[in-house]
Amino acid sequence: MTTIAILSALLDEQRGLLGELSNPHKVRRGGRDFWCGQWHGRDVVLALSKIGKVAAATTATTLIESFGAKSIVFTGVAGGVGVGVNVGDVVVASDFVQHDMDASPLFSRYEVPLYGRSRFPCDAALTAILLEAANEGLTWACGHFEDERSGYRRKVHQGLIASGDRFVSDLADAAGLVDALQQFGLNPLAVEMEGAAVAQVCHDYALPFAAVRTVSDRADSQAHVDFSEFVNQVA
């Protein structure tokens, strides 16, 4: 039976899944905790990458090489930077870019050297399943959570996510980052710190990858406050 890996950066993002795992057993490898078990009759391994692209890439590689993962799904939180991408919304990734990749003038800005590309696409079939699950999840959540901004209907968005080794917590910084990407035809809906690294590893191994991120903050000066409240209460 093929093993599906579900990866998150932080325990707060993973905690809800751990409780769902049958026959869980923990394996520690390369400074990471991996929980193996079954979910809905499938072999599943849950992993925590810690924060940032390097940590995410090594964890994804271990999932594939040591745990036989045949596909990887990332679930976590992100800062919303797209128009109308608000706290509580969900972003399902169509593809990823590294917003801090810049080997110009040797390579064009954002291009990952020697890959000939800046965008790493997600798997279409796995992404379609995530989209359906995200829509169902939000419909369920609408009946269970009171939103302070009453009447606000959370949305599921699909599009580009930008990853980089920086917690974006300044409106001008976020706007500059988006502007610079848009000059290269890249229009991100959200920023986070791991996804593009996992997408690159899955590209190397030709394995399906998909990612879903709930918007915890708007990558502005409130981001650290919104982020902390959100991961504790909702994610």
Interaction site with ligand SAH (CB under 6 A): 9-10, 51, 76-79, 167-169, 191-194, 216-217, 219, 223, 227
Question: Which of 12, 95, 217, 226 is labelled catalytic?
Answer: 217
Question: Which of 13, 95, 194, 220 is labelled catalytic?
Answer: 13
* Closer residue to ligand SAH in complex, CB, 123/192: 192
* Closer residue to ligand SAH in complex, CB, 38/58: 58
What is the torsion angle, in degrees rounded to the nearest 10, for the CA atoms of residue 157, residue 9, residue 170 and residue 209? -40
* Closer residue to ligand SAH in complex, CB, 40/53: 53
Shortest distance, position 194 Cβ to ligand SAH, whole Å: 5
Establish whether 220 is a catalytic residue. no
Rounded Cα gap, residues 206 and 88, in angstroms? 32
Rounded Cα gap, residues 123 and 130, in angstroms? 11
Shortest distance, position 1 Cβ to ligand SAH, whole Å: 30
Token code pair at residue 171: 């409106």
Cβ-proximal residue to ligand SAH, closest one: 79
Shortest distance, position 118 Cβ to ligand SAH, whole Å: 19
226 bridge partner residues: none
Q: Is the dihedral of CA 37, 20, 202, 52 positive or negative?
A: negative
Establish whether 217 is a catalytic residue. yes
Closest by alpha carbon to 220, among 88, 79, 83, 82?
A: 79
* Closer residue to ligand SAH in complex, CB, 44/215: 215
What is the torsion angle, in degrees rounded to the nearest 10, for the CA atoms of residue 214, residue 178, residue 184 and residue 191? -30
Which residues are part of the catalytic machinery? 13, 217
